[in-house]
Amino acid sequence: MSAATRPRIGVLALQGDVREHVHALHAAGAEAVPVRRQAELDEVDAIVIPGGESTTMSKLLGIFDLHDPLVARLRDGMPAYGSCAGMIMLASTILDTRPDARHLDALDITVRRNAFGRQVESFETDLDFAGITDRPGAQRMRAVFIRAPWVESVSPDVEVLARVPEGPAQGRIVAVRQNKVLATSFHPEVTGDRRVHEYFVEMVRR
């Protein structure tokens, strides 16, 4: 794929913020398509796993026979981005989840599900994001957390991109990258700030 092409990026369309991610990817310079079947997965260069409910998403991956094909594509090096529940799905270890929940094991991290609390404890904050807000003249990023996980620990192969800057959760890891896999605890698809999606689209182009 040349840098001039519009990469074809799938958004896992079983549950969650599918339309918001499709819109954000289009605005970031990609061709974005929903993915519900293996044939659709086979046609994309990368995948976004949206926010939603991770245990429901886990069940639906089985019902739609997508779990094993998705794991295989990720192991073969397909780029992926997960927001909120998508971060949980991509993690290798998940705390506070159902014992029968399946995940994709694409990031060598331990995440704690619903770490920031219930829906009523959702919040917004401004944070720094390595590779985005550290560019000359860049503004901090507004991050929206909705029943979000946080990252408890990472392996040496994982780059920490953002942490909560202040408050009771100060220092908690909320964005990571490992090779071609990116994940955030927060929902950039709902803010109108397309920089995380642009960052991911550039990852796919490379």
pLDDT tens, position by position, 136-194:
999 999 999 988 999 999 999 999 999 999 888 899 999 999 999 999 999 999 998 99
* Binding-site residue ranges: 52-54, 113, 146-147
In a 10 Å sphere around its CB, with 0-12 CB exposed, 13-18 middle and 19+ buried, how is residue 108 labelled?
A: middle
Strands 46-49 and 8-12, how do they pair?
parallel
SS3 107: strand
pLDDT in tens, 45-98: 999 999 888 888 889 999 999 999 999 999 999 999 999 999 999 999 999 887
Domains of the chain: 8-205 (3.40.50.880)
Q: Looking at the predicted structure, is the pLDDT value of residue 31 above 90?
A: yes
* Binding-site residue ranges for L-glutamine: 52-54, 113, 146-147
What residues does 83 pair with on adjacent strands? 184
Residues known to be catalytic: 84, 187, 189
Question: Integer distance in angstroms from the first to the last C-alpha of the chain?
Answer: 8
pLDDT in tens, 172-184: 999 999 999 999 9
CB 164, CB 174: distance < 8 Å: yes
Between CA 162 and CA 115 the distance in angstroms is 16
SS3 93: strand
